Amino acid sequence: MAKLKKKTAPKILTPDQARKKIQSEHRTLIRSIFRRVGFTRVTGISDQEFTYDGQKSDFDDVFVYENVILFFEYTTTNDVGGHLKPKKILYDKIDSNPVDFVKFLREKFPDSADQLKTKYHDSKLIIKIIYCSRYEYDAHYQDNVPNPAYFDYHHARYFASVTDAVKKSALQELLNFLKVDLKKVGADGQISVSTSGHKYPGSLLPEAHSNFDDGYKVVSFYADPAALLKTSYVLRKDGWHDSLNLYQRMISKAKIEAIRAYLKKEKRVFINNIIVTLPSDVQPVNSDGTTINAKSLTETAPITIQLPNRPNSIGLIDGQHRVFAYYEGVEDDSEIASLRKQQNLLVTGIIYPKALSEPERQKFEARLFLEINSTQTSAKSPLKQAIGIVLEPYSTESIAARTLSGLAKSGPLSGFIQQYFYETEKLKTASIVSYGLKPLVKTSGTDSIFSIWQHPDKEKVSSQSDLTALEDYVKFCVRTINIFLVSVKKNLDKERWTTDKKTPKRVLATTYINSFLITLRLLIDDSNDLTESIVTENLKGLNDFDFSIYHSSQYARMAEKIIEKVYRA
C-alpha cells in the first residue's frame, strides 16, 4: 500500500518577499497581455536608469508592435500620487518630442537599438506611456498627470482574460482602449490610407416586414470572420468602457475553444446567424450602385452592402463566441487562418437610421440583446439589472443598481462590492439591489429616501421626465446611505469591517448589509433624525449585537432587532 504524502504547510513569506511576489505577478500579468496581441518586448532597457534632458528616470518595460512603441511604468505602491509626481516632468518632456526620446534611447542603449527600429519612418511612430497600478487610487491623479494611458488593475484583469481567449484578435480593442488612432497603426510596414471596406452580396427586407421603427433597415449577408474581427465591438459588462450601459457577458475561453475545435474537425460553420447593428452610412445598393429604399419594397430584394473599414463600428449583439472562435494567434493556426477569410458567417444586420443619437443606439442594442437572451436560463438578475439601467433608467431597480455603483466607488463599502468578474470574495450585487436597495430608493412611500429628498425638480423624477434630476437623486441616495454606514462602522471593531470569511464576527456579508439598509428605511419611516452624530450615538451598542443568529433572508427581522435592542435601548 502506497504511503500517503504529507501535505506541506504553505510557506510564510516575509513582508519583503510578499511585496516582491506581488510586483513579479503584476509585471508578468501585463507582459502576457501585450505579448498575446503581438507586441515584442525590448530587452536591455527595463529598469535601466537614464538622464534625458536633465531628468533622471527609468522605465520598467518597453514593447513594440509595428510602428507603436509603448513605455511601461508598473507600480504596486499605495501612494500613487507620490509615485507619479516626479514622473510628470519626464512625461512632459517625452510628450513634447516623442521621436527625439526614441532616438535618445537608441543612442543610450546601443545593444537594444535594433529592437527600437521599425519598418516605418520615425515620423510615423506612435509613442505611448502606459501607467499600470496594482491598486486603486484617487482618479484626480490622472487629471494632474494626463500624459500616460492608465492601465489600471481591473483593466489588466479584463484584457488578460480576453487576450487569453482570443489572442491577437484582441489587438484592436486594446489599442482602442489606449487611445491609439487605429487608422495610423501600420501592418507589415505599410500604413493603409484606404477607408473603403469589403463589399458583400445579400438581401434587404422591406421595412413593412421588419416591424422595426421607420428608418431601420434589416439586411442579411455572408461575411468573412476576418472583417468582423477587425470592425466589431462587444459591450461586455466587465469591460473597460466608462459607462453603466454595459451588459454582455465576459467571453468564455472554454466556449471559444470548443467552437474552434468543431470548426477544425467538421470543416464547416454553425448555421445559425450572427446578429449585428450597422452604422447609418452602410447603405444597401442595387447592381447599378443606387441606394435601395427599403420603405418602398414589397418583397425581399438582392443587394450589395459595403461594411465600413473602421474598428468598433459594428455592434456584435449575438454571436461573439462564434465570431471570436476564428481568432488570430501570434503563432497562427493555418487551418483557422484559411477559414477566417472565407465568407461563411451568416449575418443579420440592422442598419441604424441617420442622426440616431448615441443613447438611442444604446437603448436599441440593449433591448435587442435582451429580446435574444431573456428566454435563456442564463439570463439572470445581474444581466436584467444591467440592461434595465439602459432601457428603464427611472425604474426602482435601475435607481437601486446605480446607487450601488455609487456606494462601490465611495464611502464605507468602497472596495468591498463586486464590480468585476474576478472579484469572487466581495459582496454580490444582485441580492443587495433587490432586497436592500429597491425598497429604500423607490420614488414613493414614507419609508424611502425619496420622501426626505428636498429638490426643486423632485416631481420630475417621479414623473420620469428629467434625467439630470434623476442623477441628483441617485447621488443623494449614495450620500444618505454612506452617512448611515459611517455610523454603523464607527460602532464596530475595525477588523470586523471586512468580507474575509476567515475573520470572526465579520459584518460585510449580504445578509448584514441588507439588514443595515432596512434599518435605515425603518428609521426614515419613523421620521428619525439621521444626522451622523445622532445615529452614531444611538448605535453605540451595535458591537455587542449578535449578528450570527440571523441567516439568509432574515434581513427584516434582524433590522427590527437592531432598532429594538440597540437603537432604542
Whether the pLDDT of residue 441 is over 90: the answer is yes
Domain count, the chain: 3
305 with 265, same domain?
A: yes
Q: What is the pLDDT of residues 361-403, one digit of tens each?
A: 888 888 888 777 765 544 456 666 777 777 788 999 999 999 9
- Residue 150: is its pLDDT beyond 90? yes
DSSP state of 14: P
Domain termination site, one of 152, 184, 216: 184
- Residue 329 in any domain: the answer is yes
Asked if residue 489 belongs to a domain, the reply is yes
Q: Over 80: is that where the pLDDT of 296 sits? A: no
Report CA torsion sign: 57, 61, 63, 68.
negative
How far apart are the C-alpha atoms of 302 and 205, rounded to whole Å?
Answer: 9
| Class of residue 343 by CB neighbours under 10 A (exposed 0-12, middle 13-18, buried 19+) | middle
Instruction: Tell me which DSSP letter residue 340 carries.
Output: H
Residues 229 and 356 in one domain: yes
How far apart CA 462 and CA 470 sit, in angstroms, is: 9
3-state secondary structure of 127: strand
Query: How high is the pLDDT of residue 377?
Result: 45
Residues 107 and 158 both lie in one domain? yes
Q: 314-355 pLDDT, tens per residue?
A: 889 888 999 999 999 999 999 999 989 887 889 999 988 888
Buried b vs exposed e over 470-505: b needs ≥16 C-beta within 10 Å? Answer: bebbbebbbebbbbbbebbbbbbeeebbbbeeeeee
Instruction: Tell me, yes or no, whether 93 and 221 share the same domain.
Output: no
Average pLDDT of the segment spanning 269-296: 81
Same domain, 261 and 336: yes
What integer pLDDT is reported at residue 379 of this predicted model? Answer: 47
pLDDT at 86 over 70: yes
pLDDT one-digit tens code per residue, 231-267: 898 877 666 555 555 566 778 899 999 988 988 887 7
Where a domain ends, among 184, 210, 236? 184
pLDDT-wise least confident of 40-49, 191-200, 223-232, 420-429: 191-200
Residues 128 and 88 in one domain: yes
Whether residues 180 and 236 fall in one domain: no
How would you label 223-262 residue by residue, b for 16+ Cβ within 10 Å and e otherwise? bbbbbbbbbbbbbbbbbbeeeebbbbbbbeeebbeebbee
Quote the CA–CA distance of 102 and 445 in Å, as a whole number: 64
For the ranges 1-5, 289-293, 523-527, the lowest mean pLDDT is seen at 1-5
What's the rounded Cα separation, in Å, for the pair 240 and 157?
10
What is the pLDDT at residue 310? 83
Which residues, other chains included, contact 292 with Cβ-Cβ below 8 Å and sequence gap of 6+? Answer: 204, 284, 285, 286, 301, 303
User: From CA 371, how far away is CA 383, in angstroms rounded?
Assistant: 12
Cα(11)–Cα(255) distance, integer angstroms: 36
Please say whether the beta carbons of 178 and 159 come within 8 A. Answer: no
Query: Which residue range(s) make up the domain with 224?
Result: 199-373
What sign has the CA pseudo-torsion 557, 562, 568, 569? Answer: positive
Measured between alpha carbons, how far is 177 from 169 in angstroms, rounded to an integer?
14
Q: Does residue 517 share a domain with residue 452?
A: yes
Give yes or no: residues 47 and 80 share one domain.
yes
Separation in Å, CA 66 to CA 39, 61, 70, 178: 8, 17, 11, 16
Residue 513 domain-assigned? yes
DSSP codes joined into one string, 314-329? EEEEE-HHHHHTTPPP
In a domain, 380, yes or no: no
In this prediction, residue 534 carries a pLDDT of 95
Q: What is the pLDDT of residue 136?
A: 85
Residue 190: inside a domain, yes or no? no
Based on the number of CB atoms within 10 Å of its own CB, is 398 exposed (0-12), middle (13-18) or buried (19 or more)? buried
Q: Would you say residue 13 lies in a domain?
A: no
Count other C-beta atoms under 10 Å from residue 185's C-beta: 19
**Domain-embedded: residue 383:** no
CATH number at residue 173: 3.40.1350
Q: What is the pLDDT of residue 245?
A: 53
| Residue 403 confidence (pLDDT) | 96
What's residue 383's pLDDT? 66
Task: Compare 7 and 394 and report the one with higher pLDDT.
Answer: 394
Cell numbers representing residue 219 in the block: 439586411
> How much is the average pLDDT of 416-437?
87
Report the Cα 301 to chain-centroid distance in Å: 39
Same domain, 402 and 367: no
pLDDT number for residue 450:
97
Domain boundary (121, 154, 184) is at 184
For 468, other C-beta atoms within 10 Å of its C-beta total: 10
What is the predicted pLDDT for the residue at 178? 94
Q: Which amino acid is at 455?
A: H
Does one domain contain both 218 and 180? no
**CA gyration radius, the chain:** 28
Alpha carbon distance 340, 227 (integer Å): 9
Three state DSSP letters for 215-275: CCEEEEEEECHHHHHHHEECCECCCCCCCCCCCECCCCHHHHHHHHHHHHHHCCCCCCCEE
Same domain? For 132 and 256 the reply is no
Pick the most confident of 198-207, 374-383, 529-538. 529-538
pLDDT at 130: 97
pLDDT digits (tens, 9 = 90+) for 453-496: 999 999 999 999 999 999 999 999 999 999 999 999 999 999 99
| Predicted local confidence at residue 235, as pLDDT | 76
- Give per-residue pLDDT as tens, 117-143: 889 999 999 999 999 999 888 888 888
Label the pairing between strands 274-278 and 345-351. parallel
Answer yes or no: is 297 within a domain: yes
Helix (H) or strand (E) holding 201: strand 199-205
pLDDT of residue 473: 97
